[in-house]
Amino acid sequence: MLNAEQLADWERDGFLVLPELVSADACDELIARAETLVAGYDDAAHRSVFTTDEQQRHADELFLRSSDGIEFFLEADALDDGGTLTVPIERAFNKMGHAQHDLDPVFDRFSRQPILAELVADLGMAEPLLLQSMSIFKHPHIGGEVTSHQDATFLYTEPVSVIGLWFALEDATVDNGCLFAQPGGHRSPLRRRMHRLATGGVGFTELDDTAMPELGDPELVPLETPKGTCVVLHGLLPHGSHPNRSARSRHAYSVHLIDGAATYPDDNWLLRTEPPLRGFSA
* Number of residues counted as binding Fe ion (CB under 5 A): 1
- Pick the piece of the chain touching Fe ion (CB under 5 A) from 70-78, 85-93, 119-127, 147-155: 147-155
d(CA 104, CA 171): 24
User: Rule CB under 5 A: is residue 181 a binding residue for Fe ion?
Assistant: no
Q: Which helix (H) or strand (E) holds 32?
A: helix 24-39
Task: Note whether 200 and 128 are within 8 A (CB).
Answer: no
Residue 74 or 255 having the CB closest to Fe ion:
255
Closest approach of Fe ion to the CB of residue 164, in Å: 6
- Pick the piece of the chain touching Fe ion (CB under 5 A) from 28-36, 149-157, 182-190, 194-202: 149-157
Residue 128 or 238 having the CB closest to Fe ion:
238
Partners of 205 in beta bridges: 193
Closest approach of Fe ion to the CB of residue 97, in Å: 12
The dihedral built from the CA positions of residue 253, 259, 260 and 263, taken in this order, carries a sign that is: negative
Residue 79 or 137 having the CB closest to Fe ion:
137
- Give me the residue whose beta carbon is nearest to Fe ion: 151
User: Rule CB under 5 A: is residue 151 a binding residue for Fe ion?
Assistant: yes
- Pick the piece of the chain touching Fe ion (CB under 5 A) from 55-63, 144-152, 171-179, 261-269: 144-152
Q: Respond yes or no on whether the N-terminal peptide bond of residue 149 is cis (omega within 30° of 0).
A: no
Task: Note whether 277 and 131 are within 8 A (CB).
Answer: yes
The CA distances from residue 148 to 83, 185, 241, 242, 262, in Å, are: 28, 12, 7, 9, 25
User: Rule CB under 5 A: is residue 237 a binding residue for Fe ion?
Assistant: no
Q: Which residues contact Fe ion by CB under 5 A?
A: 151
